């Protein structure tokens, strides 16, 4: 089943924000969505209302030999299924990196199990820059969304992104570059520089540019309130940008994954999903 990864050579550009909110927007379009946090910052959960004090998760448990991802699933109020990363200290992160170097299957096996789930769109939030998770996921991905910001450094990183060097080396880089699409985040139309860099990047990337999202206080606010943007500011320009990006992703999914808009009956019916019962975010509070 489809895997959409959110990655970037540069940090702080909006990967986690987009993963969470596009997961929500895809769910609203009728897809069944699993959002997986593969970044040790463990921040994806905050967009879905999981309390700061709730530190459990999937990746942080891998070293304890618990690769049963289903036991870490959260059913969020948005309807999106969530696999939080889990909190990790420096020692844990270094040990996990070494273990993944020795045995990439530690993460590869559960990921392939997730992708084998029928009718599930998996969205993965990755750490900034190159990572073991990106190296492992890029060959499995249907689409890698490179997130850039409308400013000079991001514009300078475009060749890095489009060559695929950021995803692999040699022939593999060229192969993986084909599944890369870019979302330009934080576009400020009132700023000459932001507008000019956004236009230059769009002109250069052509069809590889999937969409653009405006810079807006509501986006940062929604995270501060631990809410999703489509709940917090549904009428904002950023919300409409987000819906457009989600629509394009939905249209690019394999035909078997066609969205089925939820009917009132379906909303009341128990899920036909084979996944076991998951704790709800409310229950974990
Ligand atoms: N379009 C936007 N308008 C305003 N603020 C935004 C926008 N997108 C993201 N932000 C804010 O920018 C900050 C960084 O966003 P986010 O954490 O999603 O980036 P990231 O790429 O995941 O960072 P990291 O590389 O550290 O994982 C957050 O405070 C978020 O609320
Ligand atoms: Mg992030």
- pLDDT tens-digit series, residues 187-207: 999 999 899 989 988 998 889
> Is residue 277 a part of any domain in this protein?
no
To test the pocket of ligand 1, the residue of 16, 36, 123 to mutate (highest count of ligand atoms within 8 Å of its CB) is 16
What is the CATH classification number for the domain harbouring 98? Answer: 3.40.50.300
Please give the pLDDT value at position 176: 85
CA dist 160 and 129 (Å) reads: 11
Mutate to test the pocket of ligand 1, among 220, 230, 245 (most ligand atoms within 8 A of CB): 220
The label of the residue with tokens 């704790």 reads 279
How many structural domains is the chain composed of? 1
Distance CA 167, CA 155 (A): 18
The pLDDT of residue 276 is 42
Domain limits at 125? Answer: 3-263
Is residue 69 within 8 A of residue 82, CB to CB? The reply is no
End-to-end CA distance of the chain: 31
Q: Is 107 within a domain?
A: yes
**What is the number of helices (H) and of strands (E) in the chain?**
14, 8
SS3 per residue for 207-236: HHEEEEEECCHHHHHHHHCCCCHHHHCCCC
Residues less than 5 Å from ion ligand 2, measured at CB: 15-16
What is the predicted pLDDT for the residue at 269?
Answer: 36
Nearest residue to 181 via CA among 1, 18, 24: 18
In a domain, 83, yes or no: yes
Using the mean position of ligand 2's atoms as its centre, give its distance from the Cα of residue 6 in Å. 9
Q: What is the pLDDT of residue 180?
A: 92
Choice from 8, 10, 11, 12 to test ligand 1 binding pocket (greatest atom count within 8 A of CB)? 12
How far is the centre of ligand 1, averaged over its atoms, from the C-alpha of 94 (Å)? 25
51: in domain: yes
pLDDT digits (tens, 9 = 90+) for 58-99: 999 988 887 799 999 999 999 999 999 999 999 999 999 999
Neighbours of 104 (CB within 10 A): 15
Residue 271 in domain: no
Q: Are 210 and 181 in contact (CB under 8 A)?
A: yes
**CA-to-CA distance for 11 and 104, rounded, in angstroms?**
24
User: CB 38: neighbour CB atoms within 10 A?
Assistant: 25
The predicted pLDDT at position 167 comes to: 81
Measured between alpha carbons, how far is residue 27 from residues 40, 63, 106, 121, 244 in Å? 25, 31, 29, 9, 14
**pTM for this predicted structure:** 0.91
Q: 259: closest CA among 29, 35, 20, 64?
A: 29
Instruction: Answer yes or no: are the C-beta atoms of 35 and 49 closer than 8 Å.
Output: no
How far does residue 215's CA lie from ligand 1's centre (Å)? 10
The protein residue with its alpha carbon nearest to ligand 1, atom 29, reads 220
Rounded alpha-carbon distances, angstroms, from residue 20 to 48, 118, 196, 259: 7, 21, 28, 18
- Length of the chain counted residue by residue: 285
Give the residues surrounding ligand 1 with Cβ less than 6 Å away. 8, 11-17, 39, 41, 43, 128, 185-186, 213, 215-216, 219-220, 223, 238
Cα of 223 from ligand 1 centre, angstroms: 9
Q: What is the pLDDT along the chain (285 residues), one digit of tens a residue?
A: 899 999 998 899 999 999 999 999 999 999 999 999 999 999 999 999 999 999 999 999 988 887 799 999 999 999 999 999 999 999 999 999 999 999 999 999 999 999 999 999 999 999 998 888 999 999 999 999 999 998 877 778 888 777 778 787 888 888 888 899 999 999 999 999 899 989 988 998 889 999 999 999 999 999 999 999 999 999 999 999 999 999 999 999 987 666 666 544 443 333 334 444 455 665 444
199 in any annotated domain: yes
Contact status, residue 123 vs residue 84, Cβ threshold 8 Å: no
pLDDT value at residue 160: 78
User: Nearest bound ligand to CA 224?
Assistant: 1
User: Within a domain: residue 193?
Assistant: yes
Q: Which ligand is nearest to the CA of 212?
A: 1
Which ligand is in closest contact with the Cα of 223? Answer: 1
Inside any domain, residue 231: yes
């Amino acid at each position: 089943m489809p895997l959409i990864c959110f990655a970037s050579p540069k940090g702080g550009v909006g990967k986690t924000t987009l993963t969470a909110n596009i997961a929500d927007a895809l769910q609203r379009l009728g897809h069944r969505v699993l959002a997986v946090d593969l970044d040790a910052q463990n921040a994806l959960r905050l967009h879905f209302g999981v309390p700061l004090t709730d530190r459990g998760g999937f990746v942080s448990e891998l070293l304890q030999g618990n690769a049963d991802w289903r036991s870490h699933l959260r059913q969020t109020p948005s309807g999106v299924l969530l696999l939080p990363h889990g909190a990790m200290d420096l020692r844990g992160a270094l040990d996990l990196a070494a273990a993944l170097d020795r045995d990439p299957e530690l993460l590869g096996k559960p990921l392939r199990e997730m992708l084998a789930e029928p009718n599930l769109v998996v969205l993965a939030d990755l750490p900034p820059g190159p990572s073991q998770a990106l190296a492992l996921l890029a060959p499995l991905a249907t689409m890698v969304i490179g997130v850039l910001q409308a400013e000079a450094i991001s514009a300078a990183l475009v060749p890095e992104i489009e060559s695929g060097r950021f995803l692999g080396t040699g022939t593999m880089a060229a192969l993986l570059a084909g599944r890369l699409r870019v979302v330009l985040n934080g576009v400020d139309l009132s700023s000459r520089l932001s507008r000019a860099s956004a236009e230059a990047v769009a002109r250069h990337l052509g069809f590889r540019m999937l969409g653009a999202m405006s810079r807006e206080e509501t986006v940062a606010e929604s995270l501060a309130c631990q809410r999703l943007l489509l709940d917090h500011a549904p009428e904002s320009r950023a919300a409409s940008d987000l819906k457009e990006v989600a629509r394009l992703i939905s249209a690019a999914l394999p035909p078997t994954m066609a969205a089925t808009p939820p009917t009132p009956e379906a909303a009341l019916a128990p899920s036909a999903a084979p996944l076991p019962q998951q704790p709800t975010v409310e229950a974990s509070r």
